[in-house]
Chain A
Amino acid sequence: MIERVAEIQEQAEAEISAASTAAALEELRVQYLGRKAELPQLLRDVAQLPPEQRGEAGRTANQARQSLEAMIDAAAAKCEAAEMSAALADDTVDITLPGSPVEAVGHHHLLSATRREIEDVFCGLGYSVIEGPEVETVHYNFDALNHDPAHPARGRSDTFYIEGDGEGPEQTLLRTHTSPMQIRIMEETPPPIALIVPGRVFRRDSDATHTPQFHQIEGLLVDEGVTLADLKGTLLAFARSIFGADRELRLRPHFFPFTEPSVEVDVSCFMCEQGASPEGDRCSLCKGTGWLEVLGSGMVDPNVFAAVSEHGYDPDTHQGFAFGLGIERIAMLKHGVPDLRFFYENDLRFLRQFG
C-alpha cells in the first residue's frame, strides 16, 4: 500500500505540474482527492490493515494527500493570477479621455486670492486682520486722520457722499480709504497694536487707471519705540514674500496727511535687471526704471494719536507706522494684468485663469 501511495503521488505531481489552467487543476483535484478517488479510498482502507501497519500507512497516505492539496492550491492560485492578468491586459480603455463626470474646482477671484496672500503674510508677522464699515462718517474718514478741512479730496468731486441728514463730522460718505479703521481700532484697543485692514474703498474717479471702487489693505503698528527703519524692514519682508526673495526696497519721501514722515515705497522690478530685460530692451513693467511703486506709508502723524489720546495713545511716547496698498495694483503687477477693467467684468475666461 505504501508503494501504491508513492506511485499515485508521483503520477499526480507530474500531472499537476503539467496543468496550465484553473479548470484542469480542478479536474485533477477531483481525480486525485475527490470522494471517489483512489488516495482517499486508500486512507479509508487504513482501518482494515493490521494494527502494526496502520501507523505508517496512515501517515504516508495522509502526508501524500496534504502535499497534493497544497500543490494544487498553489498551482491554482498561480493560474488564477495569470488568468486575471491576461484578462486585465485585454481590458483597456483610452486613458487620455477627459475625466468624468466633470467636477471642476472653481476659482477665487484674483483680487480675493491676492488679498488672502497679503493677509497671510501679515498674519505670519503677528498682525490681526480687521474689517470695517464701507459707509463711514466724515469724522472717521477725514477729520480724525488729520485731513486738512480744505483738502480737495473731501470735495464732492472726489468723494461719494450719502444722502441723509447728517451734517459736519457726522455726514456719511463712502470711505475713500481703509484708514478710518485706524481710529476705530485705537478707540477700542490700547497700544500696542498690530493690524491690517483689507477692504473695499471708493473714490469718484473713472478712467483707464481708476475705477470708482477698488480694494486696499491698510496696516498699522503702534507701540513705544517703533521706527521708520522698522517700517522698512516690515515692508521688505512683505515685498519679498509677494514678489520674490531677491527683491529690494526703496523709500521715497512723500506727503500724506496722516503720516509724518511719509514715504512712497518702490520694490525692485522682478521682470528685469535695473530696467533692462535680458535682451537689453527697456523693461515694459517698470518702464525701464528698475523700480515698481507699490504703496504709500509713513510714521503715524502725532495729530492722529492726539485724536485718540483719551484711549491710551500719547503722541509723546507712542510711535507707529501705517501703510496702505492697492490690491488691484499688486495683482496687476504680479500677474501682468494690463487693465483694471478685467477685475470687474467678471468674464469667466478671465476668472478661470487665477485662484
Chain B
Amino acid sequence: MRVPIDWLSEYVEVDLTAVELSERLAMTGTEVARVLHHGPVSADNFVVGKVLSAEQHPDADRLRVCSVDTGDDEPRTIVCGAPNVAAGQTVSVALPGAVMPDGTKLGEAKLRGVKSSGMILAEDELGIGSEHDGIMVLTDELSAGTPLSEVFAVASEVLEPEVTPNRSDCGGLYGIAREVHAATGGALSAPPWADDPGAPTIGQMPAGIAVTVEDAVLCPRFTARVFENVTVGPSPIWVKARLAAAGQRSISNVVDITNYVMLVSGHPLHAFDLDQIAGAALTVRSARDGETLTTLDGEERVLDADICLIADADGPTSLAGVMGGSRSEVSDQTTRVLMEAAVWDGANINRTSTRLGLRSEASSRFEKGLPPEGALEAQAMATALMLELTGATLADGTLDVGGDGAGANVIRLRDARIVSLLGTPIERDRSQQILEALGFNVTAADDGLDVTVPHWRRDDVTREADLIEEVARINGLESLPPTLPLNRTGRAGGLSREQRLVRRAEDVLVGRGLSEIVGWSFTDPEVCDRLLLDDDHPLRALVVIENPMSSAQSVMRPSILPSLLDAAAYNLARGAEGCALFESGSVYRSGPGEDGMAANEHHGLGAIVTGPAREPSWADPQPPIARIETAHALVSAVLGALGIDWQVEQGELPFLHPGRTAMIRSEAGLLGWFGEVHPGVASSWEIAQPIAALAIDIGRAAAEAPRQTMFSDLTSFPPLREDLAVIVPAGVAAANVVACIIAAGSPLVNRAEVFDVYEGEQVGEGRVSLALHVDFAADDRTLSDEDVAPLREKIVAALKSELDGELRG
C-alpha cells in the first residue's frame, strides 16, 4: 500500500518529515519499506493559468502560440503542442524555474523562432496517469496565478508501509492516520464516513433490485445502494492526482470513487451497472464446478465449488471479493449504478485468489478478514462522493443482509499484569491515553482499566496480552531494561550426549582433512535410477512433495550420497583434482518414524574422498589414490572416537562397486556402509575416477556409543608382542585370520593386527601371506615365553585346520 503524506494529512496532523514519520511508525509496529516521492521535487513555479488566446504558430503546423495569464502583470507567451488547447481554458502551467518530475529544470526557450516562457501541462508531465494527448483543463473558478498545489497534490512524499497481517484496519489511509495519531500525538480528524448522506435509507430495500445471500458464512454482510442519473466521465484532477500518488490508475469517476474509498477506509467496494444485472436480482452463492466467468481484466475464469460468486438471472456476474465481471462493468453509457459493499470470508477469498492466480487490491484486503461494520462506512463515504462527483441521486433504501458483527468485547487491563509481562510498569493514565488514541473506549477499574475493543480491532485484540502489546508498542520499547531471567529449570543445559558425539564425529572428519558441505534435502526422483536401485529397493520409499517447486526438487533425499556426489562433481568440474567432503544431515524415507515422527528420518553422516587420499606435496608428490581402505580408515576413526565396537561384514549395495562394498555392523545392527562408488553411478555424475565413500547412521551410532568408559590396567603388565607371517589361500578374509588367532589364543591374545600383505612367487599361486602383530597379555602378571609357546602352537594348529594356513619361513 502507498500512503501519500499529503493525502494522509487530511485525516491527521503530520508535523514530521516523511523519514521521521516512517521511523516513528517503525518503532511503534508499522514497518515502512520505502519512502518515495511522487511528482516534481517541489510544487514551486507550478500555477493556474488562463489561456487568453491560442494562435497558429507561423512556422509549425502542430504548434500554437498562446497568451496565458498566470497572475503576473503581463500575460506570458507559451508555445504549446497540444491539439486541445483553446482560448478561455483554465490550465496548469509550469513557469521557468519549475523542476519537472524527471529532474529537468524548465527555462525560457525558443520554439521555431517564438520565445516560450513556460509550459502548459498534460497529466503525464506531472506523473498523473499516462494521458499526453491533451493538456489538463481545470475548472474555471480558479483564478490565474493560484499555486497549483492549492488545487491538487502536485508533489507528495509517499510512504510504503508493510502492514502486518493482523492489522486489516491499516489497509486504508484512515487506519494509518489513527496509528500516526497514537504514535505522534498529531490531531486526528473525524473519519470521512462520519456523515452518511444515505443514513435515513438504511434498513429499507431499494426499489427495483433484489439480493439473496445463500451462504452467510462466505458472505457475512452484503450491503447495496442504488444511484440514478449517474453521469460517467473522468474524475476531477484532485482525485486523479491522489490516486496516482497512491499508485492507482484513474478509470472513470464511478470506478475511481470505489478505489478512492477503498484506499481511505480499507474496505473494497464494487460498482455494477444496474441495467446490466439480468433480472434485477443478485444471488450470492458458491460456484458450480466448471462454471465460467469473464472478469474485468478480460480473462475467462473457470470456477470450482469452493469459490463464492455473485450471479444474476444470466449466471455469474462477479467474482465475490476478488474482481467484478465484465458483463456488469460500469461504462460510459451507465446511468444507474448498484454500489456493493460486502464482507467476505477471508480464508475463502485467499483460497480463491490463490487458486485462480488472481490477486487484486480487493482480495488482498478481504483475505485478512474485514469487519462487517466497514461495509456501511464505505457506503457512507462512497455516497457522498457519488453525489458530489457524478451528479447522481441516491435511490431510497440501503440493502443490508447480515448486519453488524458481534457486540464489542470488554477486556480488563490490570496494571500488575503489565509489569509482570513487560518487566517494567506503565502508568495507568498513560495506558488510557494510548488506548483512547487507538480508538478503544476506556473506563477505570479497581486494578486497572476496562477496555472496549472497537470493531476494527475485533479479531486482533481479544485478550489482556493483546492490550499490553498495544500499550507497550506505542509507549515505546526503548526504555525497557535488559534483564536476565532466573533459570530455574534445575538443569545445566548444554548439548545432549548424542549431540556432543555427533560433533565429535564431525570434528574427526574435519581433523582428517574433510570439508563439510550442506546439500539440499530435496532431490530428483530420478536419483533412484542414477543410484541403480532395483524397483523394489527400500530406498525407493521416497517422501514425495505434493507441491514441489520443480521436478528436480520434488522428493526428499533417501540417502546422503547423492548430495555429496553433486558437490564432488561440481568441484571436479571446476578444476579440483580431487576432493574430500562430508555432510551431516537428515535423510528421509516414507512411513511413520520413531517417537511419533511423521516420516522415517534419520541423521546421516556421509563422506566421500576422490583423487589423492591426501594433497600431494614436493616431498610426497604421488600420494595414494583414495580407495576403499581410505573410507575404511575414516570409519575406523569416527567409530573409534565414539568408542563403538564394530565389525566389517560382506554386503551388497547397488550403488557401490560389488567387489568393494563393506557393511558396518555393531551389536545393535547395521550402522552403515563404506566402499567405492559403482563406476556406473559415478559416471552418471560424470566422475571417471574411483570414489571412496561411507555413510553412517550417526544418530543411531551416537545413541549406541558406550555411556562411560571404565579403567583397564594396560600398563602394569605390558604385553608380549610376537609377529606371525601366515600364508592362507587367497579369498580368506583378513578378519577371519584375526578372529582365528584371537579365538585360539584365548584368553591371553587380546589383539592381532595385519601389518603387511604379500602376494607373489614366494608364497605360491592362489595364496597370500599376511603378517600380523599378535599381543599376548594377562592382567595379573607379565607373561614369559613359557606362557606363550603353547598358545602359539595352538594358534598355528588352528590356522592350519580352520583356514588351511601355514606359518611362512
Contact = CB atoms under 8 A, between A and B. Distances in A.
Interface residues of B, number: 101
In the complex, which range does the number of interface residues on chain A fall in? 35 or more
B548 interface: yes
A343 B556 CA distance: 19
Given A109-B518, A112-B506, A348-B515, 10 more contacts: A104-B615, A127-B493, A160-B548, A174-B521, A227-B420, A229-B482, A233-B484, A251-B477, A252-B477, A351-B517
B430 interface: no
Interface in B25-74: 26-29, 31
B496 A233 contact: no
Interface in B526-585: 543-549, 553, 556, 566-567, 570-571, 574, 576, 579-582, 584-585
B350 A152 contact: yes
B611 to A, nearest CB: 12
Interface in B617-645: 617-620, 623
A320 B519 CA distance: 35
A111 B518 contact: yes
Contacts of B466: 260
Interface string B569-613: 011001010011110111010100100011101000000000000
B469 interface: yes
Contacts of B616: 102
A213 interface: yes
Interface of A: 97-109, 111-112, 116, 119, 122-123, 125-129, 131, 133-137, 148-152, 155-157, 160-164, 166, 172, 174, 192-195, 200, 202, 204, 206, 212-213, 221, 223, 225-230, 232-234, 236-237, 249-255, 260-264, 299, 301-302, 319, 343-348, 351-352, 355
Contacts of B571: 346-348
A221 B570 CA distance: 42
A96 B485 CA distance: 54
Contacts of B620: 100-102
B614 interface: yes
Nearest to B555: A163
B806 to A, nearest CB: 37
B573 to A, nearest CB: 11
A125 B484 CA distance: 9
Contacts of B584: 112
29 contacts: A101-B617, A106-B513, A106-B514, A106-B580, A108-B516, A126-B491, A129-B496, A133-B597, A133-B599, A134-B586, A135-B599, A157-B547, A163-B544, A163-B545, A194-B493, A225-B486, A227-B422, A227-B423, A228-B423, A228-B477, A229-B483, A252-B31, A253-B28, A254-B29, A260-B465, A261-B469, A302-B465, A344-B519, A348-B579
B167 A255 contact: yes
B491 A128 contact: yes
A229 B491 contact: no
Report, nearest first, the 8 A-B pairs whose CB atoms are least far apart.
A229-B423, A227-B423, A150-B347, A253-B473, A255-B164, A253-B29, A261-B469, A135-B599
A53 B517 CA distance: 92
A102 B612 CA distance: 11
Contacts of A98: 617-618
A234 B485 contact: yes
Given A134-B586, A261-B473, A319-B420, A229 B481 contact: yes
A192 B488 contact: yes
B483 A230 contact: yes
B497 to A, nearest CB: 11
Interface of B: 26-29, 31, 164-167, 345-347, 350-351, 354, 367, 369, 420-424, 463, 465-466, 468-469, 472-473, 477-478, 480-489, 491-496, 499, 503, 506, 509-522, 543-549, 553, 556, 566-567, 570-571, 574, 576, 579-582, 584-586, 588, 590, 593, 597-599, 601, 614-620, 623
B521 A223 contact: no
Contacts of A230: 423, 483-485
Contact of A228 (B422, B478, B518, B547): B422
Contacts of A355: 510, 516
B557 to A, nearest CB: 11
Given A106-B512, A162-B599, A229 B354 contact: no
A301 B464 CA distance: 11
A225 to B, nearest CB: 6
A228 B617 contact: no
A264 B477 CA distance: 11
Given A101-B623, A346-B570, A255 B515 contact: no
A119 B495 contact: yes
A116 B494 contact: no
B518 A346 contact: yes
B544 A162 contact: yes
A260 B515 contact: no
Nearest to A198: B499
Contact of A105 (B420, B495, B511, B518): B511
Contact of B347 (A129, A149, A202, A352): A149
A262 B520 CA distance: 32
A252 B31 CA distance: 9
Contacts of B570: 345-347
Given A126-B493, A236-B482, A346-B570, A157 B472 contact: no
A299 B482 CA distance: 15
A105 to B, nearest CB: 6
Nearest to A199: B586
A344 B567 CA distance: 9
A206 B491 CA distance: 40
A99 B617 contact: yes
Contact of B482 (A206, A225, A249, A352): A249
A248 to B, nearest CB: 10
Given A108-B506, A123-B493, A236-B482, A102 B614 contact: yes
A253 B472 contact: yes
A164 B491 CA distance: 40
Nearest to B28: A253
Contacts of B468: 260-261
Contacts of A131: 499
Contacts of B579: 348
Most chain A CB within a 10 A radius of its CB, from B485, B506, B520, B553: B485
Nearest to B542: A163
A103 B619 CA distance: 13
Nearest to A151: B165
Given A255-B164, A255-B165, A223 B549 contact: no
A255 B615 contact: no
A148 to B, nearest CB: 8
Contacts of B623: 101
Contact of B547 (A193, A204, A221): A204
B521 A202 contact: yes
A304 to B, nearest CB: 11
Contacts of B618: 97-98, 100
A166 B599 CA distance: 12
Contacts of A161: 545-547
A319 B293 CA distance: 51
Contacts of B345: 150
Contacts of B601: 133-135
A115 to B, nearest CB: 10
Contacts of B164: 254-255
Contacts of A249: 482
B483, B494, B518 — which one has the most chain A CB atoms within 10 A of its CB? B518
Given A111-B518, A204-B547, A346 B567 contact: yes
B515 A344 contact: no
B472 A129 contact: no
Contacts of B548: 160
B547 A150 contact: no
Contacts of A348: 515, 571, 576, 579
Nearest to B616: A102
A206 B517 contact: no
Nearest to A149: B347
B644 to A, nearest CB: 21
Nearest to B584: A112
